[in-house]
Chains A and B, each alone.
Chain A
Amino acid sequence: MKKKMLVLVIAFALVLSVTALVGCGTEEAATTGSTGVSSDIQKIKDAGVLKVGVKVDVPNFGYKDPKTNKIDGFEIDLARQLAKRILGDESKIQLEPVTAKTRGPLLDNGQLDVVIATFTIKPDRLLQWNFSDGYYTDEVGILVKKNSGIAGLKDLNGKKVGVAQGATTKDAIEAEIATQKLSIKPNYLEFASYPEINAALESGRIDAFSVDKSILTGYLSSDKVILAEGFAPQEYGIATKKGNDGITEECNTMLKEMTANGEMATLLKKWNLN
């Protein structure tokens, strides 16, 4: 028995040290090969397909229509543009549904080349992933039941607020409370996905559902309302693995050109986002 324990303890120590080692220095900066194409872009070219993480539950950004089973939206169009620039064919994309919680890990383990999924650019996130320049600015909003009597942030004292794990919402609300010098303390409950937060709101488990306004529009119904108040402007960027500088550069060039030639304005209009 004692021997067995010892073996187990040693095995554990090994597992831990290996993971710690794997964690150090596995970041390969993209190097430019003899072809003049950076290695991260070359990888996509070799694969012949661009793997993009997108939202499937945010109308107008990334939304899977249950009737047609097709994923469409503003961010999907951006993904198509990116595929066209890298692979010369906008249909060469593989769309993978992500949530606020899964998108980071999926980039880290190489399952996705880029994530275009209402991903807010934040200083501490910049330490972990590459982000392009912002392509859309949104603000945090609050969705409540019409009969809840909640008219603004100030009414949230002691109320239960549902937020998404891995989202910036909680910090944004706290910062706004500090800015407005409100003496209120909401209780935050975290859920893994938006439909779960919505279900909790409908069943009365929470009093408010808070996330970026663009996302909230997908959960409007006759008995719910998005409060006019909005705060903490969120800038969405295209994210890729730390060190994939070639891809990030390509994204930035694309966004600049699309803004300059009016394509961006056209897209925003197409998806009612202006």
Chain B
Amino acid sequence: MGPFSLQKWQASLSNVPMLIEGLGVTLIVSVTGLALAMIIGVVFGVLSSSHWKVARFFARIYVEFFQNTPLLIQVFLLYNALPLIAPKAVIPVTVIGIMGVGFYHGAYIAEVVRAGIQSIHHGQIEAALSQGFSYIQAMRHVIIPQALRVVLPPLTNQAVVLIKNTSILAVIAGGDLMYRGDSYAGNAGNYGPTYIVVGLLYFALCFPLAVLTKKLEDRAEVHGNA
């Protein structure tokens, strides 16, 4: 029996229901993680581009820390180191997955948001402020709606990377798609077809988003706002 023999394909395909279960976990972590990343991203992105020095300083620290350390280390710290420091702090694995990708991609999305805000001509904010808008109001009604078109393509791109990064859960027995695939591949010695099927499932999640990114990019260019 070679690694890609027909029997192995059959065995792999009969195992798809278990992979679908893992896909469920991957989806939950992806969607919730993305929501968390968006919240973090918008908050720190706005802080990064504010003229308030202290806020900018803290936002920079956050962004630089999460962008310049591997996600794997962040997840390991949450999984293994935290309980050693605080025995009560045993966070469930799924939550660690959500926190892991949420914090990590939050930093990237913050940069996307900052770039979007800074792409809007400074005269816009000045005009808004001179009209009696507060800073927050100016952001909400003038800057962010314009910036949205600029940031949407890189945002969908972040979503794609985030989905792929949820596979980090495989390392901490997180029960996601990659873990299920790995588990079956390792225990049945059937890694060939299994990894192809797992790869295709990730592809099915990510490819539509990638197409959407492309579409949004085209649209942003048509309006000459790039």
Q: List residues of chain A with CB under 8 Å of any chain B CB.
A: 12, 16, 19-20, 22-27, 100-101, 104-105, 108-109, 124-125, 127-128, 162, 165-167, 170, 189-192, 196, 199-200, 202-205, 242
CB distance from B198 to the nearest CB of A (A): 14
Q: B74-112 toward A: CB 8 Å interface, digit per residue (1/0)?
A: 000001111110010010000000000000000000000
Q: Is B2 an interface residue (CB 8 A)?
A: yes
Q: List residues of chain B with CB under 8 Å of any chain A CB.
A: 1-6, 8-9, 79-84, 87, 90, 171, 173, 179, 182-183, 186-189, 191-193, 196, 200
Contacts of A165 in B (CB 8 A): 182-183, 186-187
User: Could you say which of A16, A101, A200, A202 contacts B196, with CB atoms under 8 Å apart?
Assistant: A16
Please measure, in the bound complex, the distance between the C-alpha atom of A22 and the C-alpha atom of B83, giving whole angstroms: 47
Contact B84 A26 (CB under 8 A): no
Contacts of A108 in B (CB 8 A): 2-3
Contact A27 B90 (CB under 8 A): no
12 contacts between A and B (CB under 8 A): A19-B192, A20-B6, A22-B4, A104-B191, A108-B3, A125-B189, A166-B187, A166-B189, A190-B186, A191-B171, A204-B83, A205-B80
Contacts of A23 in B (CB 8 A): 2-6, 8-9, 192
Known contacts A127-B1, A205-B90, A242-B1; is A199 also within 8 Å of B80 by CB? yes
Nearest opposing residue in chain B for A204, CB measure: B83
Nearest opposing residue in chain A for B190, CB measure: A128
Contacts of B189 in A (CB 8 A): 104, 124-125, 128, 166
Contacts of B173 in A (CB 8 A): 162, 189-191, 200
User: Could you say which of A27, A162, A167, A192 contacts B2, with CB atoms under 8 Å apart?
Assistant: A27
Contacts of B9 in A (CB 8 A): 20, 23
A interface: dominant SS: mixed
Contact B90 A204 (CB under 8 A): yes
CB distance from B212 to the nearest CB of A (A): 12
Please measure, in the bound complex, the distance between the C-alpha atom of A92 and the C-alpha atom of B63, giving whole angstroms: 51
Contacts of B193 in A (CB 8 A): 19
Contact B191 A105 (CB under 8 A): yes
User: Could you say which of B8, B82, B179, B200 contacts A190, with CB atoms under 8 Å apart?
Assistant: B179
Nearest opposing residue in chain A for B9, CB measure: A20
Contact A205 B191 (CB under 8 A): no
Contact A100 B81 (CB under 8 A): no
Contact A203 B2 (CB under 8 A): no
Contact A203 B80 (CB under 8 A): yes
CB distance from B190 to the nearest CB of A (A): 9
Please measure, in the bound complex, the distance between the C-alpha atom of A11 and the C-alpha atom of B1, giving whole angstroms: 26
